[in-house]
Amino acid sequence: MEAMEKPVVLVTGSTGLIGTKVVEAFRADYKVVGLDVKRPESLAAGTDFIECDLMKDASVEQSLRTVREKHGERLASVIHLAAYYDFTGEPSEMYDKLTVAGTFRLLKGLHEFQQVEQFVFSSTILVMEPSQEGESLTEFSPLEDEPWDYPRSKIETEKLIRQERGNIPTAILRIAGVYNEDGHTVPIAQQISRIYEKQFESYFYPGDASHGQAFVHLDDLVDCFRKVVEHRRELSQTTVFLIAEPDLMSYKELQDELGRLIHGEEWTTLWIPKLMAKAGAWAQGLVGGEEGTFIKPWMIDLADDNYPVAVEHARESLGWNPQHRLRDTLPEMVRRLKTDPIGWYEKNKLPLPEELEEKEAGAKAGEAGANK
């Protein structure tokens, strides 16, 4: 390879929501190679894509061999986003097959390169034990003892990376819930839909409503990835960053603000005992089946969790400072919902409420009639 060529950055999960934005943001300064099981609808200028199934040894070996043949033996960074994720909490062998074993296959293959300057792993803030009252989480806070399957898979993968990295420097990013102006984050999208539809459970909360969940805007996250790669030669061999907005909205603040923005009125949120909430979630599951309700009984136990995050390490080491706040983005989120509710539900992969289903059916019938 010629010395003046752009450094190569490999991105797994490159066709997902985050991966697509990362590829776009990096392509001006780096040669970006995307790896995923699904080919993108269009390939951004100056980028490459190689099909890769991280659950198959032969696919990983062939994909990385193709990377070496086309782009050389040196990688500036590998941004590893590919993982299995199911917010329902249902057990799945995919967590081990894709997230854990897939990472092992990837690392094993990367050792065949002459040089990999950095391996960046996309973990989650949920691997950490919720904070004690009045304290913020830091990189030194303890990990969760009994996590549900998604954070468990991330904890196991973090351990595997430390064991199998060899001489590849690693950066683990424990990322808060990612959102943008369309929503695109399961907890908030679900909460918005419950309030928009005035579902019965939207008026109740079974935990400490003064606590809150950490979030980060997609644009700020992509900026963080850029800074991690730019500073790759200055970071330690193994480093961990917490990536979140330091401004934390409490569950009550979020609920009240969404009620005001959506319905233009004060939203009453009542405390409900956990046992009663679990019984309600269980009953709704019986009536509606597995898809009957997003809230599962096991989620009730997490209602008190609190995730305020201190981001000084990322600020000092990377010069990263989030430019967005969830509370400032909510008005635009709700505006887009009201402007195009059907489109909003589809973007957030939520089932349409009956009223919107009827509206969509009517619109399709009208289109069919006009085309006759």
Tell me the C-alpha to C-alpha distance, in Å, between residue 338 and each of 52, 203, 268, 294, 352.
Answer: 39, 21, 21, 22, 14
The pLDDT score that the predictor gives to residue 287 is 44
The confidence score (pLDDT) of residue 132 equals: 86
SS3 71: helix
Predicted TM-score of the model (pTM): 0.91
- Alpha-helical regions (H) of the chain: 17-26, 57-71, 94, 101-110, 149-164, 186-196, 218-230, 251-263, 274-288, 297-300, 312-318, 326-339, 341-347, 354-370
Give the pLDDT of residue 289: 47
CATH class of 8-182+214-247+308-318: alpha beta
Please say whether the beta carbons of 360 and 342 come within 8 A.
yes
Q: Are 123 and 157 in contact (CB under 8 A)?
A: yes
pLDDT computed for residue 364 by the predictor: 61
Q: Cα(first)–Cα(last) distance of the chain, in Å? A: 59
Domain ranges of the chain: 8-182+214-247+308-318, 251-306+325-370
**By the 8 A CB rule, do 284 and 354 touch?**
no
Could you tell me which residues come within 8 angstroms of residue 28 by beta carbon, excluding any fewer than 6 positions away?
Answer: 46
pLDDT mean by block of 10 residues, the chain; 372 residues: 77 97 97 95 92 98 98 98 86 96 98 98 97 92 93 97 98 98 93 92 82 96 98 98 96 93 88 62 50 56 86 97 98 98 95 83 60 57
